[in-house]
Structure 1
Amino acid sequence: MIQLKNVTYSYNHQPLIQDMDVTFEKGKVTAIIGPNGCGKSTLLKLACRLLRPQKGNVFLEDQEIGTFKGRTFARKVSVLLQNNPIPDMTVERAVLSGRYPYQSPFKTYGQEDRTITEYAMKVTGCHSLRYKNMHQLSGGERQRAFLAMRLAQDTPVIFLDEPTTYLDINVSYEMMELLREQNQKLGKTIVMVLHDMTLALNYADYIILMENGKIKACNSVLDDELHHCIGEIFHVKIQSFSETDRSQFYFVKR
C-alpha cells in the first residue's frame, strides 16, 4: 500500500499539488486521469520519490519512502516515465540491465536474471528485437523494450506514466492486457497515468480523477458518481456495453 498524507508540491512558487491525501491500494490497478496540466505526472513522481514534497509524507508499506536505501527501494518499486534516456545498447542488454537492483560489484548476472529477462522480452514482444540497438527501434518498439526493462526489475509495485505513448491502438490494448495479467496472476500493484479514459475504465480497478492539482474523485471504475464527475470535467457520457459486465465502456460526446 502506498499513501500520500497531506502532501504539497510547488514548482517555481506555483502550487501544483496541495494538501493531498490519497492511497494506492495494494494488489490493484489504479489509473490517474485528468485534463492536461492538472498534476497527474507530478502525483505519480511524488508517489515513487522522483520528486520530494515540500510538505507531507509518502509511505510505502507504512515506511516513509525517503528512508529506503536506493537498491532496496528499486527492488520494491519500478517506474516507466514518458521520456526515458535511450541507452546505447542492444534490447537484450537493456532489458537485462533492469536486474540492477539485485547486483553487487562482485556479482555478475546469473541464470535467474537471464530467465527473468527472457520472460520479460517474450511477454512484451521484444524477443525478435533482442540484437537491435535501442536507437534503431521505432517509438512503439522502444516503448515495449522499456516496459520489458521494468518487468525484468520484478518489483511488486509498478508506476507508469502514459505507458501507451507511441503505440498503435491494437498494441495499446495488448500492452494493457499484459499489465492486467501482471496484476491478476502475479499480484502486482500498478499505478499509471493515462490520457485514454476508455483504457482507464476498461483495465483499472480504481480511478483517481484530478483537476487543477486536486483530486475530484477516487473511486472504483463501477462507481456512478465517478462517471458523473468525469462527464462534468470532460463533457462526455460514459455508457457500458452491459449493465452487469464492467469489462467494456465507451464514450459518447454530449
Structure 2
Amino acid sequence: FLGDGEMDEPESTTALTLASREGLDNLTFVINCNLQRLDGPVRANFKIVQELEAQFRGAGWNVIKSLWGTAWDELFQLDTTGALVRRLREVPDAQVQTYQTRDAAYIREDFFNKDPQLAEMAKLLSDDKILECFHFSRGGHESRKVYAAYRAALAHKGAPTVILAQTVKGHTLGSGFASKNANHQMKKLSVDEFKDMRDLLGLPIADSAFVDGVVPYGHPGADSPEVRYLQERRAALGGPAPARRVHPLAP
C-alpha cells in the first residue's frame, strides 16, 4: 500500500522491472491516489494516475484503475461519443481538486461547457447529481469498486498488478477538510465542521447535544449491530482482559 506522493521516492519504483521479469503474479501494489502530498498537489499541472499507469505498464505490470464511484456510472452510460472520458483525461489534478470545493454552477461552466456534447449531457443532470459525482464519488471509497479491483488482480496471471485507487483526502470530513491543501496540518474540527461530517455520515447526534461548543461523543446504541458485534467478539475471546481482581489471592 502506497500513496501517490510516495511514488516519487526512488525506493518505490527501483525494482519494478524485477517483479515483472520474475513473473511475480502474487504481488499487488495498491496506490492511494488522493492527488495530494504534504506540500500541495502531487502533479498540479498533469495527472498522476496517467503517469503511474504509463510507468507501471512500461515496467511490464498489469494495471487496474478504480477511479470513479457508482454515481459516475450514469454519466458514462450517457457518454456515447467518449467526450466525458476525453474531458476527464485532460483536466489536470489541481483543477480536479478545485471542483471538489466548488458549487454545481462552477462545475457546469468549467467542466461541462467546455465541450458542446458535455454541455448537452449536463442539462440532464441535477445540481445534486453533479455534486455527488465531483465531491464524493471515487472508486477508492466504494467497497464494491475496490472488491472488483482485488478480484481482477487475483485473476491475473503471469505478471504483478498495481491498483490505482482514486480517493479524496479528508473524505466525509466536510467541505472544510476534503481535498484542502492545508488538511495535513488541521488538527481538529470546529463545531460547524463536525455537524457537517455528522450529516454526511448520518451520525445520530442532535444539535442539542453540542453544549458550549463541546463536541459530544457519539454512540450507535446499546443494541446496535456494531455494539453487538464487539460484545460477541469479546465473549468469544473469553471476556475482558486483563481481569480485575478486587480481592488478591492469598498463598
Question: Which structure: greater helix fraction?
Answer: 2
Question: Which structure: greater strand fraction?
Answer: 1
